[in-house]
Structure 1
Amino acid sequence: MLTEGKQLAANYKGGPLTDELKNKVEWYNAVSEAEIFMVNNPKELSACLPFDIDYQSLIKPDEREKLLKGEPVLKTGFEERFDRKIVATIIPLLDHNRLEGIIYLYLPIEKISEITKDFSVLWLAAAVLFIVITLFFGTKLISRLTKPLKQMTLAAEKVSEGDYNTRVDIESDDEIGQLGTAFNQMSASIQKEDERKKEFLANVSHELRTPISYVKGYSEAMLNDIIQPEDEYKYLHLIHREAGRMERLVGDILDLAKMESDGFQLLNFPLVLSQLIEDAVEKYALVLEEKGLTFSLQLDPDIIINGDEGRLEQVVQNLMDNAIRYTEEGGITIRLTKHPKGCLLELCDTGCGIPQEDLQKITQRFYRVNKGRTRADGGTGLGLAITEKIIHLHGGEFSIESELGKGTCAKLIFPTIE
């Protein structure tokens, strides 16, 4: 009403109130919710009403003073002369500090209550509808959010009980979906590790079963005098060989266990790698001579790395053992050169080579290309797994290139000390 009154008062330009302005106010009164009157003298206000009224009871002296200052008067409450509660606004029409007239707007509170009551019914209906819709879609949303969580809870219980094949369905790409993907990856990882452990234990049992059966069988034969005295040395040699195989296998298993533990640390210090290689291969001179194999060393003496001397010697010896075992003609070459990543150590032979389908698996525990031949030669099937582990612990890279019938080349890359 204050806004309406000010907009109507804006049509007054000063001087006596015109009939045109009165007509505008009367027209606006007909279309407005509020009752609107305009008089050129507040004393004439009663003439605009359908009942007699004393203007002084509607416009009090203090309100008149406020109007003379050009300020609107706002009234709320019970008006005795109207015999009802009203909300009223009085807008002054001033011409040079002279109160030429007023615009009086009022609205019975009962009428406002009726309007708000109608709106209250609508708002109540809308609120009920909103609550129903919210509950419906909220239940759907909560069910959608909790369903994968419930699935993951059940899946986690199954995994804890040893069922590592358990997976959860991924139905979204949000955080819940990402959590489900992470759970599936974790479950797959645990399953893979469990399978590796089972395979490892099965392989260890299988590897130990053969030498143990030999040792037990030969020793029982000797204790029962089944073996002739002249053959005792032969069978003692076999028992010694099988005991040595078990010793190497247990040693390799312990090495792998140590390297895979969190507390394992290398004893690193600066090493001249060429000198370490020369010392490590020195003991193979007689074996190479007996097999008639050539041997070539091409080593850069300026290459220094930070490494564990004992473990690096173990790497060189593992690679040399394999090269000599599978090379019958030709020879072995070791090269040490500089590389963009540090240095490159190559150990190449002219042996039987490795089929391409086996190259990716050759460093797996107990994996053998020719199982029968490896057992006869005393291999444990763990040498290359240990070698790869030691190289990675030194921050290096390990790869094997081979061509069947032409030979194999093991390539090792290590970071160097400048």
Structure 2
Amino acid sequence: MGKLTIKLKICVLLVAILIGVASLCVSIVVVNERNTDRDMFNRTKVLLNNGIYMANGLDFSELDQYTYSVVNLSGKVLYSNDLKSPVGEQMELKMLSGMSKGDIASDDMIYSTPFIRNDVQVGTIYVSVPYSLVSDKHVSVYVIMAFIIIYIISTIFLLIRLMFKDILEPISMIHKVTNSIRDGHFQDRLYYDYDGEIGTLCHDFEGLRSDLEYSTENEKKLKEKEKLLMAYISHDLRTPIATISGYVEGIHNDIVKGDRVHEYTSIILKKIGMLNSLIDDILEHSQAQLHEFEIKKCECYSRKYFDEIMIEAKQDVDKKGLTFSYSQIPDVLINIDEKRIRQVMQNLLGNAMKFTNEGQISVNYKVENDYLLIAVRDTGIGIAAIDIPMVFGEFYRGEKARTLNVQGSGLGLSISKYIVEQHGGRIECDSILDQWTEIQFSISI
């Protein structure tokens, strides 16, 4: 049976069980028939014992309630109340043999016993007793056997259902879904809600399929992001490198002389700063993706910490000719990575200045539900409603930013989101196109 499938093995096992049950039933019937005949004969013997004793004394009054005949050894009827066998009739001896077990056709039990006279058998007494007087009145063994057979058949049916519904069907489903996964299709799900070991196996398999689907989709997205990253790196590095190359070539070939050398080197240093900033963003983004972004928290008071950031920001905003304001900073104890939260503020304020040509930039602070909320608002180009859900995604740059050729890696807000979430907070964006943009984040206190 080693080469048979589970289904065939089950069928062979069930056939073997049925054959065994049938053999058992036949054996019970045969043994029961033998025991029934013997029991009926014994009951008949007990029933007629007194009447036979009296008949051997030629008193047949006890046997008159039955049909009887007394036949001598030559087959002549000596005494009888049977109309079919009157006294004096000669009966054939071959008809008298083998009748002690009964005549089924007449529903009578024919009992035979020697007729004794002077201690010598001179004939045979035949008494016909109705089966109803000597048959067993208890529940027939056939009824019991019928109940047993029904029970066995019901058990086999339930066993078949268990095998096919709760074992073979789930295995078939797992096989189907496995083939789909092997072909790269993860949409086929495994639906099986029964309890027990098979149900647990199916639920675990479905969890494995779901994790594998997520990993595969995540790998695809990661590859797409890698392609996008290379495209952005190529684009954002090409411009400053070309600028640096042009200015260095001009200095090298003595095209630029005198005071203009200082001007050119200043521009070169500025472009190098842009390259360093871009490389830092890419590195930090990679660390965030690999969960290797280092967060070192320490306790500090919010007013002193953010006051320093606001003073620096005001100088930068004033240089661009914009108005800068901020609300009173609550003085609460916060547990933060000072370097990383400063990086978040610089990203938000830098974006606000980058996309605002006129108007103002404001920062609002408030405490709400055990959180310090910081909102940076500008009156710049705004963000289209359709783009707002994507602003914290990697490499996001709105349509207007691309149109205006605004420099940047598109990683600042993604990194900021990661930092804020590592501090147990949330970051959100709200904006109206061509009017204003506000980005708010929270820090637990």
* TM score, norm. by length of structure 1: 0.62
Give the corresponding residue for 1:200: 225
**C-alpha distance in structure 2 between counterparts of 1:330 and 1:178, whole Å:** 58
CA 1:123–1:328 in 2, change beyond 3 Å: closer, same or farther? same
The corresponding residue for 2:318 is 289
C-alpha distance in structure 2 between counterparts of 1:34 and 1:283, whole Å: 122
Whole-Å separation in 1 of the counterparts to 2:341 and 2:244: 38
Which of residues 283, 286, 295 is equivalent to 1:266? Answer: 295
2:377 to 337, 348, 371: 348
Q: Is 1:137 matched up with 2:157?
A: no
Q: 1:34 & 1:235 partners in 2: Cα distance?
A: 133
Residue of structure 2 equivalent to 1:169: 189
Cα pair 2:372 2:442 within 8 Å, conserved: yes
User: What does the per-residue CA deviation read over 1:5-63, in whole Å, with 9 as the maximum and x for residues that have no partner?
Assistant: xxxxxxxxxxxxxxxxxxxxxxxxxxxx99999xxxxxxx99975556xxxxxxxxxxx
- How far off is 1:155 after superposition? 4.5
Match of 2:351 in 1: 322
Map 1:2-401; keep pairs closer than 5 Å: 115-116=140-141, 118=142, 122=146, 126=150, 129-130=153-154, 133-134=157-158, 136-141=160-165, 142-158=167-183, 163=184, 165-174=185-194, 176=199, 178-179=203-204, 182-183=207-208, 185-214=210-239, 229-230=254-255, 243-262=272-291, 264=293, 266-370=295-399, 373=402, 376-401=405-430
Q: Given that residues 240 and 275 in structure 2 are in contact (C-alpha distance below 8 angstroms), is that contact kept between their aligned partners in structure 1?
A: no
CA distance in 2, matches of 1:409, 1:147: 55
Deviation of the 1:303 alpha carbon: 2.0
Residue identity in the other structure for 2:231: H
Distance 1:224 1:257, change over 3 A: closer
Deviation at 1:283, TM superposition (A): 2.9
Once the two structures are TM-superposed, the CA of residue 167 in structure 1 deviates from its matched residue by 2.4
Identity %, equivalent residues: 21
* Alpha-carbon distance in structure 2 between the residues aligned to 1:350 and 1:382: 22
What are the ranges of 5 or more consecutive residues in structure 1 without an aligned counterpart? 1-32, 38-44, 53-109
Q: For residues 210 and 309 of structure 1, what CA distance do their matches in structure 2 show?
A: 32
Q: C-alpha displacement at 1:365, in angstroms?
A: 0.4
> After the TM superposition, which of the residue ranges 321-330 and 255-264 deviates more from structure 2?
255-264
Structure 2 CA distance, aligned partners of 1:122 and 1:357? 76
1:34/1:127 CA distance change after superposition, 3 Å: farther
**What secondary structure does 1:360 align onto?**
helix
**Which runs of 5 or more residues in structure 2 are unaligned?**
1-39, 54-134
Distance change in 2, residues 1:361/1:225 (3 Å): closer
Structure 1 residue 332: deviation in Å?
A: 1.1
Larger radius of gyration: 2
Q: Could you list the per-position Cα deviations for residues 289-321 of structure 1 after superposition, in whole angstroms to 9, with x for gaps in the alignment? A: 232111112123422211111111111111010
Structure-2 separation of matches of 1:317 and 1:362: 17
SS at match of 2:174: helix
Give the SS at the match of 1:395. Answer: coil
Q: Which residue of 2 aligns with 1:41?
A: none
Preserved contact between residue 330 and residue 350 of structure 1 (Cα < 8 Å): yes
Give the Cα separation in 2 of the matches to 1:356 and 1:223.
44
401-410 or 273-282, which moves further after superposition?
273-282
CA RMSD of aligned residues (A): 4.1
**Residues 299 and 335, structure 2, Cα contact 8 Å, conserved in 1:** yes
SS of aligned partner of 2:311? helix
Cα distance, 1:36–1:365 mapped onto 2, change above 3 Å:
same
Instruction: Give the partner amino acid of 2:215.
Output: I
1:402–1:217 CA distance, 2 compared to 1 (3 A) = closer
Q: Secondary structure at the match of 1:306?
A: strand
Q: CA deviation at 1:151?
A: 3.0
Matching residue's letter, 2:360 = G
Aligned counterparts of 1:374 and 1:320: Cα–Cα separation in 2: 21
**CA–CA separation in structure 2 for the residues paired with 1:368 and 1:304:** 35
Shift of 1:254: 2.4
Summarize the Cα distance change of 1:231–1:413 in structure 2 as closer, same or farther, 3 Å threshold: same
CA distance in 2 between partners of 1:356 and 1:262 (Å): 31
Instruction: State the aligned residue count.
Output: 314
